[in-house]
Structure 1
Amino acid sequence: MRAVVVGGGASGRAIGAAIAARGWAVQLSSRRTGFDVLRDDVVAALNGADVVVEATGRFTTGRRRATDFFVRSTTAVGSAAAAVGARHVLLSIVGCERPEVQGYGYFAGKAAQERAAATTGAELSVVRSTQWHEFAEQNAGRFRVGRFVLVPGMTVAPVALETVAAVVGDVVTGKRSGRRVEVAGPQVTTLRAMTEALPDPAGRIVPVRLPGALGRAFRDGALLPGPEAEIVGPSFDEWVAVPAAH
């Protein structure tokens, strides 16, 4: 059996490793390997695949840019998966469709991506997770200004990327079934607390109180999972205490 993982970065590598560990052949396709999902022949790239995992990403807070990218990506991948007879597994975010977070372009784009994926004709499974444990370090890198790290107010239940990758691996290989699987970590915390716990936050932490309804939603728990989510460890505190594990 063969899977193609579309999308580079940490998530693509982790998912590829999880699928390979389950005995499947895996092909990673991304711009790092010379493949552009928006320009190249996706049907040719997926030829011979039993399952395609879409783990594409483009960091932006702009709603139009995020929606354009994610809808075009998933339309190309889902349509190609249908053409070659492969299942389509889409990596997404818990709560991205909630009305109170649509003011954040990335979430609006992911919600639009899920809707578009459902119309391509491929057999679809969506794996949603809360923010990854790695999110704090990613945020610190993206929002560093000189000696300062800007940290917006967010209440989250983070989950380890390797744990999410294992869940995706189970969905790909048929150990899990269902049109949607949601996973979250066992610890409710804040992005500030996560950043403060990093061995090297790379600067002085400056809390940022995002304005308006979106800021309130982030602080008040709009990113937390609902009762349908499966809670999986390790907790963030356990994860960050063992640097060698990540």
Structure 2
Amino acid sequence: MKIAVIGGTGRVGSKIVRNLGELGHEVVAAAPSTGVDTLTGEGLAEALAGASVVIDVSNSPSFEDAAALKFFETSTRNLLAAEEAAGVGHHVVTSVVGTSRLPENGYFRAKIAQEKLVEESPIPFSIVHATQYFEFVRSIADDATVSGTVRMPPALFQPVASDDVASVVGTVATGSPLNGRIEVGGPERAPLHEFFRDALAAWGDPREVVMDPHAHYFGCEVGERDLVTDEGAVIGETKFHDWQSRTENAT
């Protein structure tokens, strides 16, 4: 089976490309660096020729509200049009757990707009919602730091290894279209402040972590379960401290 991976050179995309290639599929890693630009349409027809499945794991280069919305709407429209012309039978796209619960977040609004375009397209589809990746833990802590203290709202956190997400996306892509959504999250849940307190301590980071009922998560008020999966989700195998130890040992 020929599968085109849009964003195939990125964090998750490169893992999907590797995994599917090892299973014997013909995989195209499509990205600006390989001559494929979804914003302009350059290289799309060539990359999608003969493809049965397209996996879109591309991301906006900017998280600014208007820029993210323009990226996801423009790239998705171009991609879906090219897929329809090429006869692609399954469109798979990744998104974020909690998008519909946090519409005040501009990036999440952009992802919601992307999903709407996918749902309204005639192409059968699958949407994979993942919780936050382990790789983003440091940047989340940095964003929540005020005067040297990491302030977290009273919500649960369930991050996931990007390797586990890549595995789930590959399985979904090689199966029948869901014409709906599936969630994937990590095997552990904890209140935000407890998780980050343990994570930073393991890294030797001296910042104090506190629970603050007035704190926001990337500018949003969050409920207790807004960032975690619902019942029926696929749960990854990798625990955070195992990933953390492995990552530290590799550097």
Q: CA deviation at 1:195?
A: 4.5
1:15 aligns with 2:16: yes
- Asked if the contact 1:67–1:109 (Cα under 8 Å) also holds between the matched residues in 2, the reply is yes
Call closer, same or farther: CA 1:162–1:63 in 2, change over 3 Å.
same
Matches within 5 A, 1:62-101: 62-86=64-88, 87-98=90-101, 101=102
TM-score normalized with structure 2 length? 0.81
- Asked if the contact 1:3–1:52 (Cα under 8 Å) also holds between the matched residues in 2, the reply is yes
Partner of 2:168: 167
1:217 aligns with 2:222: yes
Q: CA deviation at 1:217?
A: 0.8
Letter in 2 for 1:46: L
| Secondary structure, aligned partner of 2:41 | coil
For residues 68-108 of structure 1, the C-alpha deviation after alignment (integer angstroms, 9 at most, x for no partner) is 2112121111221122111211111112112xx11111111
| Distance (Å, rounded) in 1 between the aligned partners of 2:98 and 2:169 | 18
Call closer, same or farther: CA 1:239–1:197 in 2, change over 3 Å.
farther
Give me the CA root mean square deviation. 3.1
| Secondary structure, aligned partner of 2:237 | coil
For residues 100-149 of structure 1, the C-alpha deviation after alignment (integer angstroms, 9 at most, x for no partner) is x1111111111111011112221111111111111214446x7599x969
Gaps of 5+ in 1: none
Partner of 1:102: 103
For residues 43-68 of structure 1, the C-alpha deviation after alignment (integer angstroms, 9 at most, x for no partner) is 33311211111011125443322222
1:127 aligns with 2:128: yes
- Asked if the contact 2:160–2:185 (Cα under 8 Å) also holds between the matched residues in 1, the reply is yes
| Distance (Å, rounded) in 1 between the aligned partners of 2:74 and 2:201 | 37
Q: 1:232 aligns with which of 217, 236, 246?
A: 236
Q: CA deviation at 1:204?
A: 4.8
Call closer, same or farther: CA 1:15–1:150 in 2, change over 3 Å.
farther
Q: 1:193 aligns with which of 189, 194, 197?
A: 197
Letter in 1 for 2:5: V
Q: CA deviation at 1:241?
A: 2.9
Matches within 5 A, 1:148-167: 153=153, 155-167=156-168
Partner of 1:2: 2
- Asked if the contact 1:38–1:73 (Cα under 8 Å) also holds between the matched residues in 2, the reply is yes
Matches within 5 A, 1:131-146: 131-139=132-140, 143=143
Call closer, same or farther: CA 1:199–1:59 in 2, change over 3 Å.
farther
- Asked if the contact 2:99–2:108 (Cα under 8 Å) also holds between the matched residues in 1, the reply is yes
- Asked if the contact 2:216–2:222 (Cα under 8 Å) also holds between the matched residues in 1, the reply is no
- Asked if the contact 1:61–1:104 (Cα under 8 Å) also holds between the matched residues in 2, the reply is no
Identity %: 30
Q: CA deviation at 1:34?
A: 3.0
Gaps of 5+ in 2: none
| Distance (Å, rounded) in 2 between the aligned partners of 1:6 and 1:32 | 11
Partner of 1:37: 38
| Distance (Å, rounded) in 2 between the aligned partners of 1:205 and 1:63 | 30
| Secondary structure, aligned partner of 2:55 | strand
| Secondary structure, aligned partner of 2:134 | coil
| Distance (Å, rounded) in 2 between the aligned partners of 1:4 and 1:245 | 30
Partner of 1:47: 49
